[in-house]
Amino acid sequence: MALPRNLVAKIYDIKAHDGKVTSLDLGETGRVLVTGGEDRNVNLWAIGQDECFMSLTGHNRSIECVRFAYKDNFVYSADDIGIIRRWDLNAQKIYSTLNGHMKSVRTLDFNPSGEYVVSGSNDTTVRVPG
């Protein structure tokens, strides 16, 4: 027998990007959402709002993966040619850029303390900083 689920009282429908939404991540608090899209933008949303409160630009290709880091103070984004950008949300600018993958980065994750990022790509490699 299936357990009853609490259903969301309201479903929000927002137009997040000018092309396909390709990735998203919910922040640690559950109140902020980051999305990446074919339009090359990284957008941040307050849950329940129809408009993004921050749009980060700096990729030249479609965003394939986004991920919050460091207590939601940073966002990582990766594009379809393997470039990973780390965004400082307080400064609203690129903090650093990581290169190395030859094709699109499909997934990002962090060690428990958040010291380093691990990335997986369509180039069949996983990259772990040394």
**Each residue's pLDDT expressed in tens, for the chain with a length of 130 residues:** 566 666 556 566 777 888 899 999 999 888 999 999 999 999 999 988 889 999 999 999 999 999 998 888 899 999 999 999 999 999 999 999 999 899 999 999 987 776 788 999 999 999 987 6
* 6 domain residue, yes or no: no
Whole-structure pTM value: 0.85
In which residue are the tokens 């380093």 written? 116
- Is 15 among the domain residues? no
pLDDT the model gives residue 113: 72
By residue range, what is the domain housing residue 105?
21-127
Cross-sheet strand order for the sheet of 105-110: 105-110, 117-121, 126-127
CA–centroid distance for 30 within its chain: 14
Name the nearest CA neighbour of 78 among 55, 54, 102.
102
Radius of gyration of the chain (CA): 15
Which residues contact residue 48 at a Cβ distance below 8 angstroms, ignoring those fewer than 6 apart?
12
| Eight-state DSSP code of residue 82 | S
Q: How far is CA 97 from the centre of its chain?
A: 14
Q: Which pLDDT score is estimated for 93?
A: 95
In a domain, 1, yes or no: no
- The CB-side HSE value for 24 (13 A sphere, CA atoms) comes to 13
Is residue 27 assigned to a domain?
yes
Q: What pLDDT, on a 0 to 100 scale, did the predictor assign at position 15? A: 79
Total domains in the chain come to 1
CATH number of the domain within which 101 lies: 2.130.10.10
